[in-house]
Structure 1
Amino acid sequence: MSSIFVLDQDQALDFYVGTLGLEVNTDQDLGFMRWLTVNVPGQPDRTILLEKPGPPSMDEATAERVRELLTKGASGGWLGFDTDDAYRTFEELKAKGVEFTDEPTERPYGIDFGLRDPFGNAIRIRQLPK
Structure 2
Amino acid sequence: MLNTISITQIFVPDQDAALHFYVDQLGFEVQTDMAFGPMRFLTVALPSDPGHAVLLEKPGPPGYSEETAAQVRDLVSKGAGGGHLFFTTTDAHRTHAELKERGVELPDEPTEQPYGIDFGFRDPFGNHIRVAQMAAAPTP
TM-score under structure 2 length normalisation: 0.88
Deviates more, 1:118-127 or 1:36-45: 36-45
Partner of 1:22 in structure 2?
Answer: 28
Q: Secondary structure at the match of 1:106?
A: strand
Give the superposition deviation at 1:97.
2.2
- Gaps of at least 5 residues in structure 1 are none
- For 2:49, which of 43, 47, 50 is the aligned residue? 43
Partner of 1:13 in structure 2?
Answer: 19
Q: Size of the alignment, in residue pairs?
A: 130
- For 2:101, which of 95, 106, 127 is the aligned residue? 95
- Gaps of at least 5 residues in structure 2 are 1-6
Contact persistence 1:16–1:22 (CA under 8 A): yes
Q: Secondary structure at the match of 2:106?
A: strand
Partner of 2:129 in structure 1?
Answer: 123
Q: What percent identity do the matched residue pairs reach?
A: 60
Q: Secondary structure at the match of 1:103?
A: coil
- For 1:107, which of 90, 105, 113 is the aligned residue? 113
Partner of 2:3 in structure 1?
Answer: none
Give the superposition deviation at 1:31.
3.6
Map 1:49-88; keep pairs closer than 5 Å.
49-88=55-94
Instruction: Please provide the CA RMSD for this pair.
Output: 1.1
